[in-house]
Amino acid sequence: MDSVQLIKIKEEILSDNTELGNEIRGRMRASGTFFINLMASPGAGKTSLLVQTIRRMKVDVRMGVIEGDIESMVDSQKIQDEGVRAVQIETGGACHLDAAMVQPALATLNLADYDLLVVENIGNLVCPAEFDIGETKKVMLLSIPEGHDKILKYPLMFTVCDVLIINKMDYLDSSDFDLQQLKATMAKLNPKARIFEMSCKTGQGVDAWCAWLKEEIAAWKQQAG
């Protein structure tokens, strides 16, 4: 295995990807579309967050979703059932989305028709953290059953995210999750990140998240205009 060659290829990929990411970001800015890259482990609640967000916001905000999955259209169907357009990307085997994979999905949409587009990335706390897809904000979910020590083991995702949503708060009392310790580590690693405590099952914290999102969308549109 020629690791030097591999590293060089990885650098080229990341650099090409950032260029394409910036191009996509420019188009989103021009159309006033707030563009979220939603990342988490498998089963942390990405689709549930989308469903809760759609139910609260779709009256006021023109939303669309791009679903990234290795296989299956389970999540796209859930989104369509909520009356929101979903575009499916099937990666085959790839464990993350990059800008080049997102671009053809975006090409099926008229960006000016959307105030908010969300990409639900592949369930993976590792690789998606490395790839810019042109997003306005990176949002990550950590769910209580995963444990508070994930920030020590997968620090890059916690470092690059703009928003950390702590989901499945309804499991907090029956778990040994140390919320204070997580927040203390986060305060050192990524003090600028906005943190929301949430339960998509009980609805706790979803309104606060939606209120924040609406403000951010308005600010982004002002910047575009």
Instruction: Using CB under 8 A, list all residues that contact its own copies.
Output: 1, 5-6, 9, 12-13, 16, 41-43, 69-72, 74-75, 93, 95, 100, 122-127, 130, 143, 145-147, 149-150, 152-156, 168, 171
Find out whether 128 and 94 touch, Cβ atoms under 8 Å: no
Of 198 and 217, which has the nearer Cβ to its own copies? 198
Nearest approach, Cβ of 56 to its own copies (angstroms)?
21
Nearest approach, Cβ of 113 to its own copies (angstroms)?
28
Of 13 and 210, which has the nearer Cβ to its own copies? 13
Which residues in the chain belong to E strands, given as ranges? 34-39, 63-69, 85-90, 116-120, 137-143, 163-167, 194-197
Of 85 and 150, which has the nearer Cβ to its own copies? 150
Of 186 and 217, which has the nearer Cβ to its own copies? 186
Residue 128: which of 37, 8, 34 has the closest Cα?
37
**Angle separating helix axes 46-57 and 74-81, nearest 10 degrees:** 20
Nearest approach, Cβ of 130 to its own copies (angstroms)?
7
Find out whether 168 and 146 touch, Cβ atoms under 8 Å: no
Residue 120 CA to residue 47 CA, distance in Å, equals 8
